[in-house]
Amino acid sequence: MSRFAAPIAEQIWDMKYRLKDASGTAIDGTIEDSWRRVARALAEVEAKPALWEDRFYAALEGFKFLPAGRITAGAGTGRTVTLFNCFVMGTIPDNMAGIFESLKEAALTMQQGGGIGYDFSTIRPRGAEVKGVAADASGPLSFMDVWDAMCRTIMSAGSRRGAMMATMRCDHPDVEAFIEAKKDPARLRMFNLSVLITDAFMAAVKADGPWELCFGDKVYKTCQARDLWNRIMRNTYDFAEPGVIFIDRINAMNNLAYVETIAATNPCGEQPLPPYGACLLGSINLATLVSNPFAANAALDLAALDELVRTAVRMMDNVVDASRFPLPEQAVEAQAKRRIGLGVTGLADALLMLRLRYGSDAAAAQTEAWMQAIARAAYLASVDLAREKGAFPLFDAEKYLASGTMRQMDGDVRDAIRKHGIRNALLTSIAPTGTISLYAGNVSSGIEPVFAYAYSRKVLQKDGSRTEEEVVDYAVRLWRETHGDAPLPDYFVNAQTLPPLDHVWMQAAAQKWVDSSISKTINCPEDISFDDFQQVYMAAWDQGCKGCTTYRPNAVTGSVLTVSEASDKTPSEAPALVNANADGAEVVYLSEPLDRPQALDGATYKVKWPGSEHALYITINDILIAGHRRPFEVFINSKNMEHFAWTVALTRMISAVFRRGGDISFVVEELKAVFDPRGGAWMEGRYIPSILAAIGGVIEGHLIAIGFIDGEGMGLKSDPKAEAVSTTMRPGKACEFCGSFDLRMIEGCMTCGSCGQSKCG
């Protein structure tokens, strides 16, 4: 019997986490093999590896503990990869040599797939004097453009996409340009942007006082703080960026404030990190720990939670020693502080199983209690590790216990730390879990509410067609299994209907016991007023959050999923997600290309056109998606220089079409229909109207050979994208991996509901 609750879960495992050799042949035969591989790899650093391998396996079994995807995909593979998800790069020097050395470090980190954060506040503003060269500075945004181009280059070279975060202080002279940078849709597309908001700035906003923009000792401009705040809010309202990070609060609450200053976060904001800081992630699946769901005696097993947290902390601490790092400075930083980011997923489902409405006072109180239990277990487990293996090298008991987070910690935990030390400087974080939550049976993601009770998912078949399947939320599926077709109770709420301030309330409840931060998206309705939208951010500040990210669908950001109106329907009837236009025609095309792997399989074909001195050599390379091959790129080579310009143009255009996903077989029919007015030629007993038609025939033969189409003449006759799309649909962006317009903003990261792809891992 399959361990997977739905086909999407098994497909995600096969595509992202299953170990395969270079030819694509599976080495992990089952999900149990993957769990065993990870457990064995993380136990290798133990004095008794066999004992801990079994305990680690038990934690992984049944999707109870979910290491971040980089660990599941990389541990035990023997590959030169990092198991860390999050990096903040070194402080950028304010000189040309230092800036480009930092760029090189970023490229090396992104080559291994790390998501990186950078603070660009250290670069002098645009127009500032550059002494010694009689020139003015171009400012930090110009260098951000360079970083952006580097990221696109790394992607085009076939490396896994790593997201980037750029931060800038609210008192930097170029902050106004930074705030409005995303108004240009073609600029800084590889970056998430966040403004570093200080306590002094928030005080000035509330007092409607003046605010100085300065660099070094020079004040470049004085403005009204509230005007600058409104500018941030207006751009976030219209363009979903920039986010805000309450940086003074982060530093005040940091356990390591005595040895580091934080000025940036990883791309999704859950890991504020110092220069060269690195953190790994993992999540406790709370939904798997609830007994008697939906009954009066439903409860989360706190003893099981405690044991699972303790095992997870040990596993993650071992990752620090088992992982490789892109840069030596990152390895030194990780070893000196041994940061880990243990969080949760399935929170909303667990609350539903206890009959608690997400966003209610009772749900917030229960969330705070669970997060406190996790924090206690994690800190005590780390104390036990310190007794056994030693405290982290930079541990100073009195300074550590004086930090903001530790001052609120329970007395017995503080006493244990004072006596024995602690192995890991920081232990808790709530990361984006969009992909791993789908892999674990479509549990609710992180601390987010259920996004939707069910939605339609398109599954790509080898012939290019798609079949439709229903993906059901974990708690809803359990309800159906135990209650049949009975309507969902009124405590079932989701992200589409939840008031924004309820989101904030839940984020604040969880934040109290999270020593790092939380990746969370506060979904706002499109028709929310600007004043109400601003109040979401003020509420996040007032309630103690460390940052705030919102998403309001509109004509710019795109209404990426169509949700049926709840109106007078029962909870069981609404809302469901629809991924089709009014005519029922699915849109499956990409706005961004598929990522290219390092190596691709393919074939080369020779075409000798009668009358031409030199042959054409056509190479078609394929990519493997969900176990099926599809064409990815075409190269046409010939010694005949007469053909050079048009063959280069043709290969680029065809390859661009191939990389956008969907059924691309119409390309064959378009090429085969081209005729040459000078006459065609007879080849292998049939008349071919042009050399382009001959190329189309070669591509068609290849598509048949790999099983993409069933036979000759069975490709599409026209490009479906050319067909009109209903004006009632605003599809927004397409998934860069599978092409579906099935994206959702979760935990600050766009995640595809169709294939589970997320740029955040």
The mean pLDDT value for 736-754 works out to 61
pTM of the model: 0.78
- Closest alpha carbon to 290 in 306, 272, 308, 302: 302
Most confident of 198-207, 485-494, 708-717: 198-207
- Closest alpha carbon to 469 in 438, 431, 511: 438
The residues, any chain, with a CB within 8 Å of residue 349's CB and separated by 6 or more, are 286, 287, 443, 444, 450, 473, 474, 475
CA pair distance 103, 79, nearest whole angstrom: 25
Q: Structure tokens of 426?
A: 């920081």
- More confident position, 91 or 11: 91
pLDDT band at 466 (very low <50, low <70, confident <90, very high): low
Q: What is the pLDDT of residue 312?
A: 98
Confidence check: pLDDT of 575 > 50: no
Task: Say which range, 64-68, 511-515, 665-669, has the weakest mean pLDDT.
Answer: 665-669
- Closest alpha carbon to 68 in 58, 89, 79, 83: 83
Task: Say which range, 126-130, 169-173, 347-351, has the weakest mean pLDDT.
Answer: 126-130
In this structure, what are the phi and psi dihedrals at residue 514, rounded to the nearest 5 degrees? -110, 115
Q: Is 597 exposed, middle or buried (0-12, 13-18, 19+ CB in 10 A)?
A: middle
Q: Structure tokens of 701?
A: 């033969």
294: left (phi over 0), alpha (psi -120 to 50) or beta: left
All domains of the chain in start order, with CATH:
7-83+276-420 (no CATH), 90-264 (3.20.70.20), 601-721 (no CATH)
pLDDT band at 738 (very low <50, low <70, confident <90, very high): low
- More confident position, 756 or 249: 249
Contact 187, 110 (CB under 8 A): no
Q: Is 599 exposed, middle or buried (0-12, 13-18, 19+ CB in 10 A)?
A: exposed
Q: Which parts of 61-187 fold into alpha helices (H)?
A: 69-74, 96-111, 140-156, 175-179
What is the residue type of 637?
N
Report DSSP state, residue 13.
I
CA pair distance 276, 264, nearest whole angstrom: 11
CA pair distance 754, 735, nearest whole angstrom: 9
CA pair distance 477, 353, nearest whole angstrom: 11
CA pair distance 536, 534, nearest whole angstrom: 5
Calculated CA dihedral for residues 21, 24, 26, 31, nearest 10 degrees: 110
Q: What is the pLDDT of residue 638?
A: 81
b/e per residue 649-675 (b: at least 16 CB within 10 A): ebbeebbebbbbbbbbbbbbbbbbeee
Beta bridge partners of residue 136, listed in sequence order: 129
The mean pLDDT value for 543-570 works out to 64
For all residues of the chain together, what is the average pLDDT?
A: 86
Q: Structure tokens of 39?
A: 């457990």
What is the set of active-site residues?
266, 268, 270
Contact 464, 706 (CB under 8 A): no
Q: Which helix (H) or strand (E) holds 214?
A: strand 210-215
The mean pLDDT value for 672-682 works out to 78
pLDDT band at 630 (very low <50, low <70, confident <90, very high): confident
Q: What is the pLDDT of residue 130?
A: 86
The mean pLDDT value for 452-465 works out to 65
- More confident position, 234 or 160: 234
E-only strand ranges, 259-404: 264-265, 272-273, 278-279, 281-285, 290-291, 299-300, 341-345
CA-based max dimension of the chain = 91
Q: Is 347 exposed, middle or buried (0-12, 13-18, 19+ CB in 10 A)?
A: buried
Q: What is the pLDDT of residue 158?
A: 44
Beta bridge partners of residue 749, listed in sequence order: 746
Strand order in the sheet with 281-285: 65-67, 281-285, 341-345
C-alpha of 594 from chain center: 16
> CB count, 10 Å around CB of 689?
16
CA pair distance 456, 479, nearest whole angstrom: 19
pLDDT band at 726 (very low <50, low <70, confident <90, very high): very low
Question: What is the per-residue pLDDT across 354-407, written as a single tens digit (0 to 9) for each?
Answer: 999 999 999 999 999 999 999 999 999 999 999 999 999 999 999 999 998 999
In this structure, what are the phi and psi dihedrals at residue 574, rounded to the nearest 5 degrees? -150, 155
b/e per residue 690-721 (b: at least 16 CB within 10 A): bbbbbbbbbbbebbbebebbeeeeebbeebee
CA pair distance 476, 491, nearest whole angstrom: 12
Question: What is the per-residue pLDDT across 117-149, written as a single tens digit (0 to 9) for each?
Answer: 999 999 999 999 887 776 889 999 999 999 988
> CB count, 10 Å around CB of 737?
21
Question: What is the per-residue pLDDT across 594-611, written as a single tens digit (0 to 9) for each?
Answer: 667 777 888 999 988 887
CA pair distance 379, 408, nearest whole angstrom: 13
pLDDT band at 185 (very low <50, low <70, confident <90, very high): confident
